[in-house]
Structure 1
Amino acid sequence: MPTQRFRITPTSRGALFRAKRWFYSIFYTKELPADVKEGNKKAWVDLASKIVEEVNKRGATDKPARLIISYESGPRGEFIPLSATMELMEIRPLETFTIYLSKEEEIKKIKADIIELVKRAKELGANIEELKEIIV
Structure 2
Amino acid sequence: MRKTILVFGLLILALLILFQFSKYAIISGDLDSEFAIAIVAIVFFFVGVYLNKKSLHKRHVVSKTINYKKIEALDISKREYEVLIGIAEGLSNKEIGEKLFVSESTIKTHVSSLLTKLNAKRRTQALQIAKGFNII
TM-score by length of 1: 0.31
Larger strand proportion, structure 1 or 2? 1
- More helix by proportion, 1 or 2? 2
Q: Which has the higher contact order (CA 8 A, sep 6+)?
A: 1
